[in-house]
Copies of this chain bind each other. A is one copy, B any other.
């Protein structure tokens, strides 16, 4: 980088410190002279071509800006992994097993109200989508799962979800602790 002449250096500093783009007349006010400003700006434009910042002209105004191809560096994406809440995963499970299903139906199955935020989170995750309205009074919106949902959970289709009988066989409908059975034989047989 060849050091520029004094006038060019001064204009470089004035443009850098300015709080907005400057017209030649404004540069002249700071500089105290009008001579040679156009040439200096041209020289700076050439100097900064191909660098991380460029001198650009917008209408009558000049300013330095970050090179357009590097804009992606100024935005850093950060992914935070968060566990879905109990309400979230239960709502998702009900939608997956019963789709298309309305919010009122989800609430009836869960036995508790579904917060609006819960549906929002599932939509944001891309796992559910609105799936038309139910043709009943009030025409409530129904929800269904998406291909992203199948993808995330490694399912080829919704039919791959275990049925009720399979869930029971896997002990998933039966929250009794097996360890208890060993200790107290009296409790044995209390199956639900």
Interface residues of A (CB under 8 A from B): 1-4, 8-14, 16-17, 29-32, 46-53, 64, 66-67, 70, 73-74, 76
Report A7 CB to chain B, min CB distance, Å: 10
Q: Please indicate which of the listed interface residues A2, A48, A53, A67 has the most CB atoms of chain B within 10 Å of its own CB.
A: A53
List B contacts of A74 (CB < 8 A): 13-14, 17, 30
Partner of A1, one of B30, B51, B70: B51
User: Assembly of this chain: how many copies?
Assistant: 2
Docked-complex contact B12 and A51, CB < 8 angstroms? yes
List B contacts of A66 (CB < 8 A): 13, 16-17
Docked-complex contact A53 and B14, CB < 8 angstroms? no
Among all A-B residue pairs, the 8 with the closest Cβ atoms: A12-B52, A3-B50, A13-B52, A9-B52, A13-B66, A13-B70, A1-B47, A1-B1
Chain A binding site: helix, strand, loop or mixed by DSSP? Answer: helix
Docked-complex contact B16 and A53, CB < 8 angstroms? yes
Report A163 CB to chain B, min CB distance, Å: 28
List B contacts of A29 (CB < 8 A): 76
List B contacts of A13 (CB < 8 A): 52-53, 66-67, 70, 73-74
- Cα-based distance from A47 to B9 in the complex (angstroms): 13
- Cα-based distance from A17 to B53 in the complex (angstroms): 9
Q: Please indicate which of the listed interface residues A8, A14, A29 has the most CB atoms of chain B within 10 Å of its own CB.
A: A14
